[in-house]
Chain A
Amino acid sequence: DSGVTQTPKHLITATGQRVTLRCSPRSGDLSVYWYQQSLDQGLQFLIQYYNGEERAKGNILERFSAQQFPDLHSELNLSSLELGDSALYFCASSDGGDYNEQFFGPGTRLTVL
């Protein structure tokens, strides 16, 4: 158990809908990262937050947004969903040090029908 929790575990929705994925980092970790894992694209870095502020941005679509709250939990919002958004979404956390490893949650599997 990494100490990172993600809810829900599974999510099934329809095209055009909006969903919110939630992540609680390990106790004491200030950084939260979001990744998308799909069969054809591999593991894609989406965005990182550090202590409430956006720190780095990867291949995140404009339809997607994220935030980190004062209690350090984070939410990833996916809107106008398309079939291609079906994937496993991982949250990871670290203490924010430049060379520290990340601890991954179990993931949320999103299926868009």
Chain B
Amino acid sequence: AQSVAQPEDQVNVAEGNPLTVKCTYSVSGNPYLFWYVQYPNRGLQFLLKYITGDNLVKGSYGFEAEFNKSQTSFHLKKPSALVSDSALYFCAVRDGDGGFKTIFGAGTRLFVKA
């Protein structure tokens, strides 16, 4: 069965510093991996995805994520955090081995302090 874990409930970072939000996954086939962001009282917004190819994926708002097959991880990164990046971040995985379900992690709340 597929699963995804976000080991940190909360990440705190100062504005201008790099940020990392961690995600690990488990699937039986090839993973399709996604990051979404949720601002207060809003639906989730797609940030980026990894399907195949280059392990470093670039997405919206300056975010990027690195796919690491050996560590089964897909960590979200940004070189310089903004206060406006403060939000709830979800990692999601879909099993490429014929599964249709997308499973979301529990979410990580990012606080960027000015």
Contact = CB atoms under 8 A, between A and B. Distances in A.
Interface residues of A, number: 22
Nearest to B34: A101
Interface string A51-85: 00001101000000000000000000000000000
Contact of B49 (A43, A101, A103, A105): A101
Contacts of B51: 99
Given A55-B100, A98-B96, A99-B94, A104 B107 contact: no
Interface stretch (B19-27, B39-47, B67-75, B78-86): B39-47
A105 B43 contact: yes
**Consensus secondary structure, chain B interface:** strand
A4 B43 contact: yes
Contacts of A33: 102
B101 A45 contact: yes
Size class of B's contact patch?
A: 20 to 34
A101 B102 CA distance: 10
B42 A106 contact: yes
Nearest to B51: A99
Interface of B: 32, 34, 36, 42-46, 49, 51, 90, 94, 96, 99-107
